[in-house]
Chains A and B, each alone.
Chain A
Amino acid sequence: MVFSSTIFLFAFFPLFLAVYFAMPWRAARNVALLVFSLVFYAWGEPVYVWLMVGSILMNWALALCISRAGLRSGPWRKLFLGLAVVANLAILGFWKYQGFLAQNINAVLGEEFLADLQLALPIGISFFTLQALTYIVDVYRGEVKVQKNPLYLGMYIAMFPQLVAGPIVRYSDIEYEIDHRRATLAGFAQGLRLFCVGLGKKVLLANTAGVLADSLLAQDAATIGFIGCFSGVAAYTFQIYFDFSGYSDMAIGMGKMMGFDYPRNFNYPYTARSATEFWRRWHMTLGGFFRDYVYIPLGGNRVSVPRFIVNTMIVWGLTGIWHGAAWNFVLWGLYWGILILLEKFFIMRLLDRLPGFVSHIWCAVLFFFGWLLFAVTGLSNVAEWTAALFGAYGWLGTSTLWELQSWSYVSLVPIFIVGSLPWAPYLRKKLEAWAEGDSHRSIVAAPAKGNSAVPPCQALCEGVVVAPGRARVLAAVNALVDVALVAVFVLSAMAIVSSSYNPFIYFQF
């Protein structure tokens, strides 16, 4: 089940909200959330729900063992931690990488040494495994209290808003909220607004860009030439951003409706001026996971230069392979690792001295080739597409301009670009400054947590002392924003009803 489907929007979600808010106690709401999450997961893959339940019980039991095994340095604690980490990675490794491993080992040995079991990838396994790992490690580190109630831990691991495509919520993010969250009308409405924004990004922008991206990425570079390859990757660049950040917005919004404050996952990544900055803005919860649970334990940057380079490449290799069991994902991860190292040692000083537009162009080129590695499967295809982008097959390959259909998206390019830029927080700050009567107030960067991703629809002028005479204008702006959001919801619902094209790219991970 995906959020942008009729069954979710018009049956599952309203039914969940009705049951959830009918429960008088938080404990009952937690159980309702767990039950609905398991149904949500089982909807598409009834068999794998048992894998999920097994993972919950295993992590619950091992975390209890860790917490009861004495001092932090005790060998039993380490043993249970090791067991939990190995078990979680084994689950992920078996279901996600068995086929990849078998194919490569067999290719090296030249014989069928290991059978490719061709297992279907359980949806969201990459996300819920990492979440379970953060819980286990944080219990070991003493950063969170062990959760004694398996139903509550199950609710955390299986929580449907962020189960299948993130954001990766650490247990510490919601530990307090499991027992003490407050669902308020304001929070509910804020969550709904963010849900509408995410739904619009996904359905109206990502899916539309996806029609072009899928059509062109399925063809040979020689058939579609430079224009086809360029517009295919460009469309994918927008598709993946709107798709993934839209999903995250919907997830954060649904959490907000229930009183949870999930971490922010995107902060306008296409405004970055370097590869390093891009990864501080793109899939922030994944970057945070690898930083805190892999990079820093490896020694971080407080090591020799060669070790630092090795640590960095390990992290980026893992980031790549986490996205998918294929060499192009590994290559994609290493590509970013190498770029980040190059920036750290050579390019960053130069970028800092160059005009802003030059560094933006630098980054646009990086995104472009990064997504080329990500989207085009097979290394030989990547080579062909790269050649096409350098003109090997002419402007159009063997196609006509008309049939490439890139031309029909020209009017949408400004919308895609504007949708990727932080105009909403900018306008919000401007409006708040105006409302306070302070036209010189500086525009501060949006904070990194939860609802800061929301455009002016949300926290607009909440807590601001409005200057006399300006309240009516603000009320009118607020009302217009809400009308626009309802329109976005209606347009999105129309598109969902119409369209059979509705993939979530990050489901495959």
Chain B
Amino acid sequence: MKARNILLSGVLCLLFCGPALIGLASWGGVALPSWLTAADAAYLSGGLTEADPAAHFSVEGFASGEFQEAAEDAVGNCVPLKATALLANAAVQRSAIEASNILFGWECYPTFYGSSIVKMPSEGRLLETAEKATDSVRDAIGRVRDGLDAFGKRHPDQRVFVYLGPDSMNVEGSPTAKLVSNALTYEGTENLFEEHDGAFEWIGGNVTFDEFTRGWNKVDHHWNILGAFQAYERMAGALGFGDDTLAPKDLVTYDDPPFRGTFARRGLETAYEDHILDYEFADFPKFSVTIDGAEGSMDSLVHHKNYEWGTWGPNAFTSRYAEYYHTDYGLITLVNEEADTDRNLLIVADSYSNCMERLLAAHYRTTYVLDPRHDRETLDEFLADHEGVSDIIFIMRSPNLLAQATEQALAPASAQG
């Protein structure tokens, strides 16, 4: 009995002291593998928080709660095997959900209790649970629609287009839309947007679920190059370049690295993975590139050379979409040095455009890519500063098109505080 008590107490006390041991090792400069520390979990839990409890170790720091917050963050940063813990906990919960689903046979089920990401084994993919068409969502659609109308009327010399990128929540035949009452479908959203006054043009972007399975990543919310190119063709048609669209020469698939995107991260499920696809084009124009005011190059927007050389981030949950194409910037300017037109384009977009802005830019002299989430100026202000923009196109998925940042970007300059 004594040996049993000693063993149990020793093991549990060791577990209690795990983070302290990791913290001491880090403090002592011992290089620990990332899987043993909390480093691998950085992408899963939203990153490591910088924590310095010593800086707040005072009566004032304690009274304000800053010391406590820093201490809690510091302990969280030292939890051993944190990524394994996160994934294993979700796997345990998922196994209980799967056991329950034997009785019900749902096509999709949550990846853990409370998760908005669902697993669809028959398609080997993860999806987002459909959003509900609540009154507040309908109001948001109405506000953005009216904002677009008003914006279009203030700029009669420019053509304004809107392309709503479908996603797993609203695509036609979305399996999760069938499971939720009053789901916000692509068609429903489109119908509400089409009640506009004609100051902008809506480009239908809906796809069938079969097209979706080919053109969208399995474990990430972004489209792949196939879905993006299909959208590009529709946009090019609406913009008047339907007979002059780019023709891909070859489809490149990067088998490495495996891509576990937002759904895998948020759903804590590693059963499926994607791979980066990209098109090669025969005669692609040369661009000079400026990113947030600094000089860049096309290699800053499409990192194919890195992938050809086998250079990528070590974390399994790195967003390969952002790594291969590029992360989100406030303003990118692409100048087509070979253009035979003086028309300029403004793309107002979220990350959906990261893989395809170069395709549209091939048809214009100068293309501006503005992300309202990262650039706070209104579009009125932008157009006042950048003359010669003939076309404006919004390329976003629903959560970003209906976000406050988009409403603010559309507001008249005088309305901005």
Contact = CB atoms under 8 A, between A and B. Distances in A.
A355 B300 CA distance: 78
Given A14-B16, A42-B62, A402-B106, A7 B82 contact: no
A163 to B, nearest CB: 17
Given A11-B20, A211-B114, A482-B4, A494 B75 contact: no
A489 B5 contact: no
B192 interface: no
A17 B10 CA distance: 13
Contacts of A462: 1
B8 A482 contact: yes
Given A10-B18, A185-B9, A498-B90, A402 B180 contact: yes
A99 B179 CA distance: 43
B55 interface: no
Contacts of B181: 398-400, 403
Contact of A14 (B13, B85, B100, B106): B13
Given A7-B72, A462-B1, A486-B11, A410 B100 contact: yes
A407 B100 contact: yes
A193 B7 CA distance: 12
A489 B12 contact: yes
A43 B53 CA distance: 14
A462 B1 CA distance: 9
B287 interface: no
Interface string A167-199: 000000000000000000110110011001000
A59 to B, nearest CB: 25
Nearest to A207: B113
B7 A6 contact: no
Given A17-B13, A494-B85, A208 B4 contact: no
Interface stretch (B91-99, B318-326, B342-350): B91-99
Interface string A483-509: 001100111011101110100000000
A189 B75 contact: no
B79 interface: yes
B110 interface: yes
B79 to A, nearest CB: 5
Contact of A46 (B1, B63, B76, B93): B63
B390 interface: no
Contacts of B9: 185, 188-189, 192
A412 B79 CA distance: 28
B26 interface: no
Contact of A411 (B7, B96, B114): B96
B383 interface: no
A401 B100 CA distance: 13
Interface in A400-430: 400-403, 405, 407-412
A410 B103 contact: yes
Interface string B7-47: 11101110111111000000000000000000000000000
Interface in B66-121: 68, 71-72, 75-76, 78-79, 82, 85-86, 88-90, 92-93, 96-97, 99-101, 103-104, 106, 109-110, 113-114
B110 A494 contact: no
Nearest to A397: B181
A433 interface: no
A76 interface: no
Contacts of A5: 72
A495 B89 contact: yes
Contacts of B306: none
Contacts of B1: 186, 462, 478
A46 B62 contact: yes
A403 B8 contact: no
B106 A188 contact: no
A9 interface: yes
B68 A43 contact: yes
Interface centre among B8, B15, B75, B109 (most CB of A within 10 A): B8
B113 A211 contact: yes
B6 interface: yes
A234 to B, nearest CB: 15
Interface in A186-240: 186, 188-189, 192-193, 196, 208, 211-212, 215
A393 B180 CA distance: 18
A497 B89 contact: yes
Given A402-B106, A497-B86, A208 B12 contact: no
Contact of A408 (B11, B97, B180): B97
Interface in B281-308: none
Contact of B72 (A6, A215, A490): A6
A403 B12 contact: no
A498 B99 contact: no
B182 interface: yes
B8 A485 contact: yes
B62 A408 contact: no
A10 B16 contact: yes
B80 to A, nearest CB: 10
Contacts of B248: none
Interface centre among A186, A401, A495 (most CB of B within 10 A): A495
A407 B100 CA distance: 7
Given A46-B65, A462-B1, A408 B8 contact: no
Nearest to B83: A497
B82 A408 contact: no
Nearest to B78: A10
A13 interface: yes
Contact of B6 (A42, A185, A407, A497): A185
Interface in B307-345: none
A407 B93 contact: no
B79 A497 contact: yes
A408 B101 CA distance: 7
B16 A9 contact: yes
Contacts of B268: 498
B122 to A, nearest CB: 16
A448 interface: no
B23 to A, nearest CB: 9
Contacts of B90: 498
Contacts of B7: 482
B249 interface: no
B89 A408 contact: no
A188 B5 CA distance: 8
A401 B103 CA distance: 13
A6 B100 contact: no
Contact of B8 (A189, A212, A491, A498): A189
Contacts of A185: 2, 5-6, 9
A478 B4 contact: yes
A405 B19 contact: no
A277 B18 CA distance: 43
A493 B15 contact: yes
Contacts of A379: none
A465 interface: no
Nearest to A400: B181
A479 interface: yes
A493 B180 contact: no
B81 to A, nearest CB: 9
Nearest to A407: B104
Contacts of A46: 62-63, 65
26 contacts: A6-B72, A6-B76, A7-B68, A10-B20, A10-B78, A11-B19, A189-B5, A189-B6, A192-B8, A192-B12, A399-B181, A400-B180, A403-B129, A408-B97, A409-B100, A410-B104, A411-B97, A475-B4, A478-B1, A478-B4, A482-B7, A494-B85, A494-B86, A497-B85, A498-B89, A498-B268
Interface of A: 5-7, 9-11, 13-14, 17, 42-44, 46-47, 185-186, 188-189, 192-193, 196, 208, 211-212, 215, 398-403, 405, 407-412, 462, 475, 478-479, 482, 485-486, 489-491, 493-495, 497-499, 501
Top 4 nearest A-B pairs by Cβ distance? A189-B5, A411-B99, A402-B179, A494-B85
Given A196-B12, A407-B104, 4 more contacts: A11-B71, A410-B103, A491-B92, A498-B90
